[in-house]
Amino acid sequence: MLRFFAPLIAPLVGLLFVCALLYAVIAAPSAPAAHLASEEFHLPPKDIHYSFEGPLGKYDNQQLQRGFQVYKEVCSACHSMRLVAFRDLEEIGFSKPEVKALAKGWATETPSVNPDTGEPATRKSLPSDFIPGPYANETAARAANNNALPPDMSLLAKAREGGPAYIASLVTGYADAKTFTKDGKSLMKEFPDFNTPTGLHFNPYFANLNIAMPPPLSADGQVTYADGTKATKLQMATDVSAFLMWAAEPKLENRHRTGLAVLAYLVIATLLAFGAYRNIWHGKKH
């Protein structure tokens, strides 16, 4: 009798195992999903209009120059732009003498080598140099920022979801977690245990609501614009985010022009092909 049932034992055990697994996956009650403050109270980027948006969009050089001024006077204290050279600034309207003066007067000198001793040294920057960062290396950057690493800003506008609007929203979005509300709901009432750890700052536009970067734009008029534009916090944020978009995609206008030329070519080619088709098959039966 055992010999008769022995070949069936292994398949039967396997079948029971599969049934138990299917029950665990399908039929068994699932645990409720975790309710997180970062999911309910995170805000999308503000609706900010930029001149370079859309297929016909173009950069506003005055805005880009203002944005560079905000980067120079505010952001460059912590953030580098190692992929942007000083001479690239000529593309946004700075003259060669202005670029030369900017490079020479930059707060951080360019790393170099002493030709006499071969030891590491620094020198005044040249227009051909990339914009030097504020720290010698990553270790120094972390040591100065509570172990947080300020990201390089060269490609930041393309690397972050939401692009320049996200950057502008983030730098103007700092708030008090104790009084913050969204859609009529209070953060502290919904999540009484929520807290902002020491060294971090509450910002609803940041993914987990707490960010290491302190508010970079503290008040209106923090920067005095050369063109007389009123430097509100939102204006400075919009200008610097537009400048970062140019830094990340300086050939955007060329791409727009190329795209329009290609579309025009395709429309003309389509019309010519259709005309040739009508001419060849005119009056002929299929």
Instruction: Render each residue's pLDDT in the chain as its tens digit; 286 residues.
Output: 545 555 656 666 667 777 777 776 676 555 454 578 888 999 999 999 999 998 889 999 999 999 999 999 999 999 999 999 999 999 999 999 999 999 999 988 888 888 878 788 888 999 999 999 999 999 999 999 999 999 999 999 999 999 999 999 999 999 999 999 999 999 999 999 999 999 999 999 999 999 999 999 999 999 999 899 999 999 999 999 999 999 999 998 888 889 889 999 999 999 999 888 888 877 666 5
CA-nearest of 264, 276, 223 to 71 is 223
pLDDT confidence of residue 57: 92
How far, in Å, CA of 178 to CA of 93, rounded?
45
Tell whether 75 is in a known binding site: yes
Q: What distance separates the 2 farthest-apart alpha carbons in the chain? A: 101
Tell whether 236 is in a known binding site: no
DSSP string for residues in 120-153:
EEEE---TTSEEPPSSSSHHHHHHHTTT--PPPS
pLDDT confidence of residue 9: 64
Tell whether 286 is in a known binding site: no
How far, in Å, CA of 91 to CA of 243, rounded?
12
pLDDT confidence of residue 83: 96
Q: How far is CA 204 from the centre of its chain?
A: 16
Task: Give the residue carrying structure tokens 């007389």.
Answer: 228
Q: Where are the alpha helices (DSSP H) in 52-95?
A: 61-73
pLDDT confidence of residue 36: 86
The reported pTM is 0.82
Three-state SS at 250: coil
pLDDT confidence of residue 209: 96
pLDDT confidence of residue 281: 78
Tell whether 213 is in a known binding site: yes
pLDDT confidence of residue 31: 47
pLDDT confidence of residue 2: 47
